[in-house]
A and B are shown apart, each in its own frame.
Chain A
Amino acid sequence: MSTAVISRRGMELLLYLAPVTLFYVVFLILPYLMVLRLSFFQFSPMHLYIPEFTWANYAAVLTDRFYLGLLARTIGLGLLVTLVSLMLGYPLALKISRAGPAMKSVLLAITLSPLLINLVVRTYAWLVLLGDTGVVNHWLQALGVTAGPLPLGGNMFSVIVGLVHICLPLMALSLVGVLERIDPALFDAAESLGASRGRVLRRIVLPLSMPGIGAGSLLVFSFTISAFVTPALLGGNRVTTISTLIYEKFTFSSNWPVGATLVVFLLVINIAVVILHGRLFRED
């Protein structure tokens, strides 16, 4: 009797979980393992690759100045975008957490709305704004601030601006989450003991919002280093990141083994971030 019950439950479980498991094994695990395998194969201009084991691709990426520069530039971009998103996201999150209910809804809707607007559209907006003949340069010259167009587009600057615009909602949401949980009684206590507003911010609000700062930063960092559409469009073929080079290796130059090796590096960095995230903020 009891074995029959167990096996019936087992059957039911299998029915629920087998389809999704099969789907993941075939279309997630297998493709990822094949990329990993590809990174150990030799490049061949004639046959895409020769299936012979080699460390050469890893050696190339880890010793070639070009690839090292690429890794450093991508990580640097990630850090910079994270920092700017934090600096812009913090005042916004403070404003949201202090607002009354009606204002809070409006501000939250404004903050969240970009998340639902197409990534390509959001990137296109900055393409229009930051070009040599774009809206920003037009206004700068019309107002007499600059004589000629500033080089705002097609470089690292426009890539950073575009990525910050996309990452801000993620950062602000992480921050609002922690700021809302701070007990307002703490402020009253601190103020009645004579602390200035600045001191309250520095000594109470900032330390208590560290989990949000950490979570938001890791989220923005891993999004930025893996972003493809924004650097590809706003970098104007002049800004190369790991992602844009992966695309190039798998399409135009057809060097799949090196492309696969770059994929492994991108994955390793991302997994490190996820592990760090898990260590810092255990989900229960």
Chain B
Amino acid sequence: MLDKAIDLAGWLVVLFILGPLVIIVGGSFTETPYVAFPPTGFTLRWYAQLMHRRDFLNSFVFSLALAALCSLVAMLLGVAAVIGLHRHGFTGRQVFRAFLMSPLVLPTIVTGVALLQFYYLIDMDAPVTGLLVGHVLITIPYVLRTVGAGLVGLDPAIEEAANSLGAGGLRTLLRVTLPAIAPSIMAAVIFVFITSFDQATVSIFLSGPDMMPLPVRIYSYIDFAVDPMVAAVSTLLILFAFGIIALLQKLLGLERAMGVG
């Protein structure tokens, strides 16, 4: 009896999680000028309309470029930090690591506001750089966590062997350490990319009308219209997310990638 109740409750919660997403995907094909579920008729006109929106297309391309650039910078800074922390013991290492992880626990809205007033007060007029900095700041912790976990699993004897065979520090790094942790580096790149691509809060504070990442574009569009075109762009983003999940699953196994089990 109790087990049945728990089972049923579990299914209802699954429905609660998936329901809205299913309705958005279904509603994007409706012929009505509002999102209806089940959709009335079937049309691709909202997707066609989306393809004619220069602003949305520009934002999509901009978001992709920003996420790619963010991945590059966050990986360079983050992987160097992880290796430094891994190879060298020093006093206060744990504190330093916690400091590097701090953007993860600091509210994103505060990071956004802090950077906004900082750029204004130092008179920095470089919107793309400003946005990039915000994204790099909140994604570095993901690099530390994911790549850090890969390094912990690495047998130190392998690096020692390379060293004793005469490979220098740099050579060991490039030929032994980095290849050995390649899967976690790949996973970190994907995490950083998607976190940057999806980031809305920090971007809302740091982007202007010309350089608007996609989530901010959707956010400001929703403010005055909730038509099925947004359902269409949402559907594409959901497909994108499932593509990423499949990729992660393939690379690492989902449970390990998300840090469960």
Q: Which residues from chain A sit less than 8 Å from chain B, CB to CB?
A: 9, 12-13, 15-17, 19-20, 23-24, 27-28, 30-32, 34-35, 38, 88-89, 91-92, 94-96, 105, 107-122, 124-129, 131, 133, 135, 138, 165, 168-169, 173, 176-177, 180, 197-198, 201, 222, 226, 228-229, 233, 243, 246-247, 250, 256, 259-260, 263, 266-267, 270, 274
Choose one: B83, B215, B219, B241; the contact of A116 (CB below 8 Å). B241
Q: Which residues from chain B sit less than 8 Å from chain A, CB to CB?
A: 1-3, 6-7, 9-11, 13-14, 16-18, 20-21, 23-24, 27, 34-37, 76-78, 80-81, 83-85, 87-88, 90, 96, 99-100, 102-103, 105-111, 113-118, 121, 133, 136-137, 140, 169, 194, 198, 200-201, 204-205, 215, 218-219, 222-223, 226, 230-231, 234, 237-238, 241-242, 244-245, 249, 254-255, 258, 260-261
Instruction: Give min CB distance, B150 to chain A, whole Å.
Output: 16
Instruction: Give min CB distance, A136 to chain B, whole Å.
Output: 10
A118 near B237 (CB under 8 angstroms)? yes
B254 near A119 (CB under 8 angstroms)? no
For residue A233, which residues in chain B have a CB less than 8 angstroms away from its CB?
219, 222-223
Closest to A173 in B: B260
A243 near B23 (CB under 8 angstroms)? no
Q: 16 new A-B pairs (CB below 8 Å) besides A125-B21, A176-B260, A177-B261?
A: A13-B88, A16-B84, A19-B76, A20-B80, A24-B137, A27-B115, A31-B114, A114-B21, A115-B258, A119-B198, A124-B24, A165-B16, A169-B17, A173-B260, A228-B201, A246-B113
The CA-CA distance from A250 to B207 in the complex, in Å, is 14
The CA-CA distance from A19 to B84 in the complex, in Å, is 11
When A and B form their complex, which 8 residue pairs have the shortest distance between CB atoms, in order from nearest?
A16-B84, A95-B10, A226-B107, A125-B20, A91-B9, A31-B118, A31-B114, A116-B241
Closest to A112 in B: B258
A118 near B215 (CB under 8 angstroms)? yes
CB-based A-B contact count at 8 angstroms: 236
Which DSSP category, helix, strand, loop or mixed, fits chain A's interface?
Answer: helix
For residue A229, which residues in chain B have a CB less than 8 angstroms away from its CB?
200-201, 204, 219
Instruction: Give min CB distance, A127 to chain B, whole Å.
Output: 6
Most buried by A among B17, B27, B105, B204: B17
For residue B169, which residues in chain A have a CB less than 8 angstroms away from its CB?
12
Instruction: Give min CB distance, B239 to chain A, whole Å.
Output: 10
Instruction: Give min CB distance, A89 to chain B, whole Å.
Output: 7
A94 near B10 (CB under 8 angstroms)? yes
